């Protein structure tokens, strides 16, 4: 059972008011009384109630983290890194998974506010306009992470990756590896749409067609990647490479290729996006576009802590650079038709 302020007062032989003054470092307290109170709190392992701190306007050293999908390996890794950075800065986190649903987002914000959090980090695959409005209305500090804004002006600092540049890197690499029949499986998210635009523009720049049947759109999951890949690999003229807009979807693509006896990378090259830790464990290891997850988590905590401590954040947009990580799921494509022509 947790110790109470009443038990501390009894143990120290002082009044509750004296215990409160010592804990909150307010008022004039005698040295002996202060020593006895501190010894009692240590002996009883007493910790002040965080809600009580919030009600008196004190910092609770708690950060609310709203995540759109905790089941996603990308957001799970991001959450772990944010937690590490919070602890390094003397903060704890309270996590809510919103599933990207506005009603859940609203409920999570209200619940975390009741717990007296000092600020919010919102990690989402869509721009949570409702959360932005709610935090602005309540004059709460916040940072948006891994989201794509739907407009130019937003109230909170934003950390994201250059999705367009990352997708361009992926497609350029496949084209440089002699792939001309390149398909894409894109996520049904704001980032997925930007990655598709980069795919389309890069193919057009290379004067290569983007066939309608070579483009699939779906929600990010292994099963959805599996189903999309099966449809692509059953085509009479199937792609020699697939750019997949998340590593999670790529796992399903690999599963489908194995079941259909399509050799990776000899017959099919695959490039993912995110660089989650499992990429090095797939068979073969996955070539992907790396998001700097650790850097993004550190930056989010840094910006929020600065705001909590009263600093003004003048630079609202922080765009991280993607990096191509080449592994064994891709190779140079030797087109059989070119050998026939020769």
Q: For 150-195, how does the pLDDT look when each residue is reduced to its tens digit (9 = 90+)?
A: 666 677 899 999 999 999 999 999 999 999 999 999 999 889 999 9
Distance between CA atoms of 179 and 15, rounded to whole angstroms?
Answer: 79
pLDDT score recorded for residue 148 = 75
For residue 15, name the pLDDT band (cuts at 50, 70, 90): confident
Distance between CA atoms of 166 and 276, rounded to whole angstroms?
Answer: 15
pLDDT score recorded for residue 340 = 45
**Which residue from 72, 169, 60 is spatially nearest to 119, judged by alpha carbons?**
60
Distance between CA atoms of 70 and 294, rounded to whole angstroms?
Answer: 17
- In the chain, the percentage of residues whose pLDDT exceeds 90 is 65
Q: For 122-151, how does the pLDDT look when each residue is reduced to its tens digit (9 = 90+)?
A: 998 887 788 888 888 778 899 999 877 666
Identify whether the C-beta of residue 305 lies closer than 8 Å to the C-beta of residue 157: no
pLDDT score recorded for residue 66 = 95
pLDDT score recorded for residue 180 = 96
Q: For 282-298, what is the mean pLDDT? A: 97
Beta-carbon contacts of 17 under 8 Å, excluding residues fewer than 6 positions away, are: none
- Assigned token pair, 85: 């950075």
Bridge partner residues of 244 (DSSP): 185
For residue 202, name the pLDDT band (cuts at 50, 70, 90): very high
Distance between CA atoms of 272 and 242, rounded to whole angstroms?
Answer: 9
pLDDT score recorded for residue 1 = 63
Whole-structure pTM value: 0.82
**Three-class SS of residue 61?**
coil
Distance between CA atoms of 113 and 135, rounded to whole angstroms?
Answer: 10
Distance between CA atoms of 144 and 126, rounded to whole angstroms?
Answer: 10
C-alpha distances (whole Å) from 154 to each of 141, 185, 319 are: 13, 30, 15
Residue with tokens 């990429």: 279
Given a cut of 70, is residue 272 above it in pLDDT? yes
Identify whether the C-beta of residue 260 lies closer than 8 Å to the C-beta of residue 227: no
- In the chain, the percentage of residues whose pLDDT exceeds 70 is 93
**Three-class SS of residue 148?**
coil
Q: For 33-64, how does the pLDDT look when each residue is reduced to its tens digit (9 = 90+)?
A: 999 999 998 898 887 665 555 545 567 899 99
Query: Residues 147-183, buried b or exposed e (16+ Cβ, 10 A)?
Result: bbbeeeebebbbbbbbbbebbbbbbebbbebebebbb
Asked which of 104-113, 143-152, 215-224 is least confident by mean pLDDT, the reply is 143-152
Average pLDDT, the chain: 90
Distance between CA atoms of 222 and 262, rounded to whole angstroms?
Answer: 18
Distance between CA atoms of 213 and 206, rounded to whole angstroms?
Answer: 19
pLDDT score recorded for residue 251 = 97
Identify whether the C-beta of residue 181 lies closer than 8 Å to the C-beta of residue 239: yes
**Which residue from 313, 31, 2, 282 is spatially nearest to 144, judged by alpha carbons?**
313
Identify whether the C-beta of residue 97 lies closer than 8 Å to the C-beta of residue 42: no
Given a cut of 80, is residue 232 above it in pLDDT? yes
pLDDT score recorded for residue 102 = 82
Q: For 63-100, how does the pLDDT look when each residue is reduced to its tens digit (9 = 90+)?
A: 999 999 888 999 999 999 999 999 999 999 999 999 88
pLDDT score recorded for residue 318 = 92
């Amino acid at each position: 059972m947790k110790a109470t302020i009443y038990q501390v007062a009894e143990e120290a032989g002082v009044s509750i008011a004296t215990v409160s003054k010592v804990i909150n470092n307010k008022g004039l307290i005698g040295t002996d009384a202060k020593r006895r109170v501190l010894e009692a709190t240590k002996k009883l392992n007493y910790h002040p109630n965080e809600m009580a701190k919030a009600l008196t306007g004190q910092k609770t050293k708690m950060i609310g983290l709203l995540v759109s999908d905790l089941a996603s390996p990308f957001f799970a890794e991001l959450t772990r890194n944010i937690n590490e950075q919070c602890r390094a800065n003397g903060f704890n986190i309270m996590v809510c998974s919103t599933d990207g649903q506005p009603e859940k987002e609203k409920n999570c914000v209200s619940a975390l506010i009741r717990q007296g959090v000092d600020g919010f980090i919102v990690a989402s695959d869509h721009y949570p306009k409702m959360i932005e409005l709610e935090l602005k209305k309540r004059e709460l500090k916040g940072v948006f992470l891994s989201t794509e804004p739907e407009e130019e002006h937003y109230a909170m600092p934003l950390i994201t990756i250059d999705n367009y540049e990352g997708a361009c890197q992926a497609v350029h690499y496949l084209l440089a590896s002699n792939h001309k029949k390149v398909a894409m499986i894109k996520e049904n998210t704001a980032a997925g749409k930007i990655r598709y635009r980069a795919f389309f523009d890069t193919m057009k720049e290379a004067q290569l067609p983007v066939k309608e049947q070579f483009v699939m759109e779906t929600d990010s999951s292994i099963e959805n990647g599996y189903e999309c890949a099966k449809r692509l690999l059953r085509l009479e003229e199937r792609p020699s490479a697939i750019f997949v807009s998340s590593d999670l979807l790529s796992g399903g693509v690999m599963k489908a290729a194995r079941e259909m006896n399509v050799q990776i990378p000899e017959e099919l090259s695959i490039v993912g996006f995110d660089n989650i830790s499992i990429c090095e464990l797939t068979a073969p290891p996955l070539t992907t576009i790396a998001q700097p997850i650790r850097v993004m988590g550190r930056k989010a905590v840094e910006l929020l802590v600065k705001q909590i401590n009263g600093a003004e954040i003048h630079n609202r947009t922080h765009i991280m650079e993607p990096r191509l990580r080449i592994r064994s799921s891709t190779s140079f494509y030797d087109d059989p038709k070119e050998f026939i022509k020769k």
